[in-house]
């Protein structure tokens, strides 16, 4: 007698086996045509989820409904290839980790449009499908929308919402359709529910229900850093090893990579330059050898031959100085966003020591205030009640003289570095200090005149810097 439960289980196993082969085939076909995706493609595992109504990823595994995947495959291998690549791109550009306070519905749509725009721009047969009229229209109008000043957005809003006729003729624009830029454009457009539904039906490929489950967890932060590394390495590989023909074929992807990997994104990594290597009381599992431990316990009963070290060497920020230029040329909004970006780095548990001393100094042509922060909560509270003091001229020397005095008096013995947020239009010290110094500028306001050779510099793009904080 045939057991119906057993029969159903065997059928499900066969179905899962077929789906696995389909996904492996998609991975292989994408790799053959785009070698630079080798690491990214193999970074995602597969897992069948019979209760799911579609396909999705959490940055580590692709979860799929077998019936959905089979139906997608029946439409053509290209559909499966595009879905696989779509999810890999979501991971590469860290969309599941960067929503923050944005509206979920618009953010999901913006991410889908951005990734489909990249895939549509690839001249690869394995993922090519003819663009529908609504796609071509959406890409064109979004680019034009982003090129128009804020006061002209209402006109373009009506166009994209389909309530007007033929769009205004003009430049197509060269801006890359990143998720952040698309989100800002969509937010200003006041799309009707009908039009929003049309765009979702056109661009939705995967479910995003797994994106926020571990958004702020340690595991999510680790995965985000890993995908950031993969994205940066992939750009380098494409620019250094690809032929001219390959560059033309993958131009849309290269443009997106350049937009995401700009200098401003290195600011977090740049901050970590000011960390120092010291020991902390913490078990170091890397120094533990279980073979010797087990051998000692078996030989002597209660005497392991080696135990894990009770201290661990880590790179962390100890004493640190942040100087804010409070002259008339620096806006309060930009200063606030600079502090928020800095807080995101310093608030990570493995960035700074348990005993930390951060001086936040406001200075125009003289030191206006000095607030000492000892933990991430102090920095968060400082940002919430932040007020600019000064609005005079710009002179960098008083801040350095003040910090040097703190070092001489023993109040900053562990000072590794100083970061000065400014527009660069001021008087620099002649002599180099005994600690690392970095000036953080806004691109549009940066001036290289008289910039000292002993200092480091980071130039942020104001527009995109603002986008990152929305």
Return averaged pLDDT per consecutive 10 residues of the chain, 470 residues in all: 78 92 95 91 93 92 95 95 96 88 91 95 92 93 73 38 38 65 88 92 94 70 86 83 65 83 55 56 51 62 56 58 78 70 61 66 91 80 80 87 92 84 81 86 63 77 54
Report the pLDDT value the prediction gives residue 165, as an integer from 0 to 100: 37
Considering the domain architecture, whether residues 67 and 200 belong to the same structural domain is answered as yes
Q: pTM of the prediction?
A: 0.61
322, 320, 288: which is closest to 306 by C-alpha? Answer: 288
Rg (CA), the chain: 27
Considering the domain architecture, whether residues 237 and 273 belong to the same structural domain is answered as no
Each residue of 289-337: pLDDT tens digit?
566 556 566 666 665 555 555 555 544 556 789 999 887 555 566 777 7
- 386 within some domain: yes
According to DSSP, the β-strands at 309-325 and 276-284 are antiparallel
Considering the domain architecture, whether residues 427 and 372 belong to the same structural domain is answered as yes
Considering the domain architecture, whether residues 232 and 331 belong to the same structural domain is answered as no
Considering the domain architecture, whether residues 445 and 417 belong to the same structural domain is answered as yes
b/e per residue 441-464 (b: at least 16 CB within 10 A): bbeebbeeeeeeeebebbbbbbbb
364, 363, 357: which is closest to 379 by C-alpha? Answer: 357
Of 191, 226, 261, the last residue of a domain is 261
DSSP summary character for residue 284: E
Report the pLDDT value the prediction gives residue 315, as an integer from 0 to 100: 45
How many domains does the chain divide into?
A: 2
Average pLDDT, the chain: 78
Report the pLDDT value the prediction gives residue 135, as an integer from 0 to 100: 94
Considering the domain architecture, whether residues 330 and 254 belong to the same structural domain is answered as no
Considering the domain architecture, whether residues 215 and 273 belong to the same structural domain is answered as no
Report the pLDDT value the prediction gives residue 176, as an integer from 0 to 100: 82
Angle at 444 between CA 450 and CA 266, to 5 degrees: 90
Considering the domain architecture, whether residues 351 and 415 belong to the same structural domain is answered as yes
Considering the domain architecture, whether residues 252 and 326 belong to the same structural domain is answered as no
- 297 within some domain: no
CA 107 to CA 292: how far, in whole Å? 52
* Domain range enclosing 167: 4-261
- 94 within some domain: yes
Cβ atoms of residues 139 and 177 within 8 Å: yes
Of 234, 261, 288, the last residue of a domain is 261
Cβ atoms of residues 293 and 304 within 8 Å: yes
CA 324 to CA 424: how far, in whole Å? 12
Report the pLDDT value the prediction gives residue 283, as an integer from 0 to 100: 47
The CATH number covering residue 382 comes to 3.40.50.410
Report the pLDDT value the prediction gives residue 162, as an integer from 0 to 100: 41
Each residue of 176-190: pLDDT tens digit?
888 988 998 898 888
Half-sphere exposure of 83 (CA within 13 A, CB side): 28
């Amino acid at each position: 007698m045939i057991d119906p439960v057993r029969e159903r289980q065997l059928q499900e196993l066969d179905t899962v086996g077929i789906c696995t082969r389909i996904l492996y085939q998609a991975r292989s076909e994408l790799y053959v045509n785009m070698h630079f995706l080798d690491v990214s493609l193999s970074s995602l595992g597969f897992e069948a989820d019979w209760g799911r109504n579609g396909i999705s990823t959490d940055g580590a595994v692709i979860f799929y409904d077998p019936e959905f995947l089979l139906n997608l495959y029946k439409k053509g291998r290209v559909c499966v290839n595009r879905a696989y690549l779509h999810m890999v791109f979501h991971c590469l550009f860290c969309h599941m980790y960067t929503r923050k306070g944005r509206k979920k519905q618009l953010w999901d749509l913006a991410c889908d449009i951005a990734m489909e725009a990249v895939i549509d721009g690839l001249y690869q047969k394995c993922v090519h499908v003819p663009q529908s009229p609504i796609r071509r229209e959406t890409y064109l109008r979004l680019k034009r929308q982003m090129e128009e000043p804020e006061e002209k957005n209402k006109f373009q809003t009506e166009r994209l919402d389909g309530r007007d006729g033929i769009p205004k003729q003009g430049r197509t624009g060269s801006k890359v359709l990143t998720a952040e830029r698309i989100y800002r454009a969509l937010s200003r457009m006041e799309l009707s529910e009908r039009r929003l539904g049309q765009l979702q039906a056109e661009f939705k490929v995967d479910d995003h229900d797994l994106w926020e489950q571990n958004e702020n967890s340690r595991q999510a932060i680790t995965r985000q850093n890993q995908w950031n590394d993969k994205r940066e390495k992939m750009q380098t590989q494409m620019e250094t090893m690809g032929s001219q023909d390959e560059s033309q074929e993958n131009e849309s992807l290269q443009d997106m990579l350049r937009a995401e990997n700009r200098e401003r994104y290195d600011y977090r990594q740049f901050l970590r330059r000011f960390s120092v290597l010291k020991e902390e009381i913490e078990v170091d599992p890397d120094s533990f050898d279980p073979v010797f431990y087990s051998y000692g316990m078996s030989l002597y009963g209660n005497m392991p031959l080696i135990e894990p070290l009770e201290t661990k060497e880590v790179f962390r920020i100890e004493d640190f100085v942040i100087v804010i230029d409070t002259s008339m040329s620096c806006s309060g909004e930009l200063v606030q966003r600079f502090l928020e970006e800095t807080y995101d780095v310093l608030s990570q548990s493995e960035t700074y020591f348990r005993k930390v001393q951060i001086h936040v100094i406001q200075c125009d042509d003289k030191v206006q205030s000095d607030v000492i922060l000892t933990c991430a909560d102090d920095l968060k509270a400082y940002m919430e009640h932040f007020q600019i003091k000064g609005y005079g001229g710009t002179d960098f020397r008083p801040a350095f003289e003040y910090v040097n005095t703190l070092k001489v008096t023993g109040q900053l013995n562990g000072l590794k570095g100083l970061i000065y947020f400014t527009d660069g239009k001021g008087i620099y010290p002649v002599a180099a200090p005994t600690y690392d110094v970095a000036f953080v500028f806004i691109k549009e306001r940066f001036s290289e005149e008289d910039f000292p050779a002993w200092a480091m510099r980071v130039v942020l793009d104001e527009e995109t810097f603002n986008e990152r904080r929305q």
